[in-house]
Amino acid sequence: MNKAIIKLLATATLFAGSMLAPPSTTAADLKAGQKAFDANSCSSCHELSASTIGPSLKDIARRYKGQPVERELAQRIRAGSAGRWGGVPHPAYEGLDEADALIIATWILGGAPR
């Protein structure tokens, strides 16, 4: 096969892969998500399996399973969110870095592995 065609195919394959995979999540990303979650005291309202003041992380992951909503969730984590789970609102975290919010959302949607 012609070299140019091979290169083109390789590029196309990489591109297709990047569209399918969730925003290129690595084990290090997931670890960073967990750290940022812990560092921002999110666990005072969110536990892994039990709903407390907020929904459990597993319930959140279940509800959005298979949906690419990382960015949406990250936005609601920062802006605050209400009326989706019950009567209590999730407070705004405007000081939380966008990238951190995204990595936390990715970690939660990935089942919040520890």
Residue 9 contacts ligand HEC per CB under 6 A = no
Structure-token match 């084990």, residue found: 27
- Of the residues 88, 92, 97, 98, which one makes contact with ligand HEC according to CB under 6 A: 88
Only one of the segments 8-16, 18-26, 35-43 lies at the binding site for ligand HEC (rule: CB under 6 A); that segment is: 35-43
Q: What is the dihedral of CA 61, 65, 69, 72, to 10 degrees?
A: -40
Nearer to ligand HEC, 7 or 63 (CB): 63
Taking the complex as a whole, the smallest distance from the CB of residue 96 to ligand HEC amounts, in Å, to 6
Per-residue HEC secondary structure of the chain comes to: CCHHHHHHHHHHHHHHHHHHCCCCCCHHHHHHHHHHHHHCCHHHCECCCCECCCCCHHHHHHHCCCCCCHHHHHHHHHHCECCCCCCCCECCCCCCCHHHHHHHHHHHHCCCCC
Residue 76 contacts ligand HEC per CB under 6 A = yes
Only one of the segments 8-16, 18-26, 72-80 lies at the binding site for ligand HEC (rule: CB under 6 A); that segment is: 72-80
Only one of the segments 5-13, 14-22, 23-31, 74-82 lies at the binding site for ligand HEC (rule: CB under 6 A); that segment is: 74-82
User: Residue numbers of the site for ligand HEC (CB under 6 A)?
Assistant: 37, 40-42, 44-46, 53-55, 60, 73, 76-77, 81-86, 88-91, 93, 96, 104, 108
